[in-house]
Amino acid sequence: MHVWSERYDRDLKDVLALQDEVTLSIMRALRVKLTDGEQARLWHRNIFPKNLEAYEKYLQGRMCSGQVTKEGNATARSLYEESMALDPGFVGNYNGLAITYVVDAIWGWSKDPRESTRQAYKMANKVLALDDSQDTPDYVLGLIYVYMGEHDKAIAEGERAVELNPNGNEALAFLGCILNFAGRPEEAITLLEKAMRLNPIPRSPFYAWLGTSYMLMNQNDQAIAIFEKRLRIQRDHTGCLMNLAAAYSLAGRREDALKTAAEFLRLNPKFSLEDYGKMFKDAAAREKLINALRQAGLK
């Protein structure tokens, strides 16, 4: 996309609207180049926000959602809802909302996990209704199905997302996450490392998912290095904290495991180890991680 070669012929009275249009075009171009790459190009071909303020709120929501904290997730939802009110046709908001709802359910941040799951499913299907060529609803549905314990459906959705957008870093990463829970961590590593090569600034959950893959492959030192790398940037990252506690436990670093698990529980007191365990298809992987987390102090 060549923003600078576009022509903008308007009356002077429309100068403010023109300014917003030019700014939005520049933001689109920069986002394609600097952040989401192929993902942004896919969105640009289809439904893109028509309102600059809506787009700004959406981008802020993505930043907050990527923190993977209770507060960040709640802020992201509010921003997506504000953006949606300004531009109801933009698919990104519905996808963003779907993620916030399913993440709420997974980490125990929701008062009613079943209702949160229902809302996530509703929002993902709203994206499909608006534009079924998008990869986003498929990989979000994949995560929802993992939470529901329906791994075959989850894999099918994740694979469809990658078929729609083979170089989409998020589609690849989400499928990697799904495969971890399905007991296929070696394949997950390939997908997650490709996703992180495609995006020079990987989204924070990618670290949690890749570290988990290595942990499931019994490469605990590698897993610890990945979790610690992300936590040096963001000390309260939910997924990395929990999985680092497990990796420390598996590596025989009991004191570090107890300390990390205590910090995780301080931030996520309603987390259910039993519910989390249900997300794993492979019984051996489930028993391994759940036992490691129990030894670290989670219940």
The string of DSSP letters for 246-294 reads HHHHHTT-HHHHHHHHHHHHHH-TT--HHHHHTT-S-HHHHHHHHHHHH
pLDDT average, residue stretch 196-217: 95
Is 14 part of a structural domain of the chain?
Answer: no
pLDDT recorded at residue 51: 86
b vs e for 189-209, b when ≥16 Cβ sit within 10 Å of the residue's Cβ?
Answer: bebbbbbbebbeebbbbbbbb
How large is the average pLDDT for residues 194-208? 94
Mean pLDDT of 133-155: 95
C-alpha span between 23 and 151 (Å, rounded): 43
Predicted confidence band of residue 30 (pLDDT cuts 50, 70, 90)? very low
Q: Is residue 21 one of the residues assigned to a domain?
A: no
pLDDT of residue 237: 97
Confidence class of residue 130 from pLDDT cuts 50, 70 and 90?
confident
**Domain tally for the chain?**
1
Residue 200's pLDDT band (cuts 50, 70, 90): confident
Q: How many CA atoms are closer than 13 Å to the CA of 23, on its beta-carbon side? A: 12
Say if 24 falls within a structural domain. Answer: no
Query: Of all residues in the chain, what percent carry a pLDDT higher than 70?
Result: 84
Give the per-residue pLDDT at 86. 95
Report how far residue 93's alpha carbon sits from residue 148's, in angstroms, rounded to the nearest whole number: 23
- Model confidence pLDDT, tens digit, residues 259-294: 999 999 999 999 999 999 999 999 999 999 999 999
- Quick: pLDDT tens for 70-115: 999 999 999 999 999 999 988 899 999 999 999 999 999 999 999 9
Q: What is the dihedral of CA 41, 139, 272, 208, to 10 degrees?
A: -50
CB 161 within 8 A of CB 171: yes
Is residue 34 pLDDT above 70, yes or no?
Answer: no
Query: Is pLDDT above 50 for 5?
Result: no
User: How far does Cα 285 stand from its chain's mean position?
Assistant: 22
Helix (H/G/I), strand (E/B), else coil: 134 = coil
pLDDT of residue 15: 40
- 64 has a pLDDT exceeding 50: yes
Each residue's pLDDT tens digit, 38-62: 455 444 444 567 788 999 999 999 9
Is 68 a member of any domain?
yes
Give the mean model confidence (pLDDT) for residues 220-229: 98
CA proximity to 120, closest of 147, 139, 98, 137? 98
Instruction: Tell me which residue of 201, 200, 224 sits closest to 211, measured CA to CA.
Output: 224
Mean pLDDT of the chain: 87
Percent of the chain with pLDDT over 90: 77
16 lies in some domain: no
Residue 273: CATH number of its domain: 1.25.40.10
Dihedral of alpha carbons 265, 270, 273, 276, sign: negative
Query: Helices in 131-237 by DSSP H: which ranges?
Result: 136-147, 151-164, 169-181, 185-198, 204-216, 220-233
Residue 11 has pLDDT above 60, yes or no: no
Q: What is the largest CA-CA distance in the chain?
A: 70
Classify residue 289: in a domain, yes or no. Answer: yes
In a domain, 11, yes or no: no
Q: Average pLDDT of 108-129?
A: 95
d(CA 14, CA 21): 11
Tell me how far apart the alpha carbons of residues 49 and 23 are, in angstroms, rounded to a whole number. 12
- Higher-scoring residue by pLDDT: 172, 46: 172
Given this model, what pLDDT does residue 48 score?
65
pLDDT (0 to 100) of residue 150: 97
- Note down the domain range covering 131: 35-296
The larger pLDDT score, comparing residue 13 to residue 239, is at 239
CA distance 82 to 80: 5
Structural domain includes residue 252: yes
Tokens 């009613």 -> residue: 112
Q: How far is residue 65's CA from residue 71's CA, in Å, rounded to a whole number?
A: 9
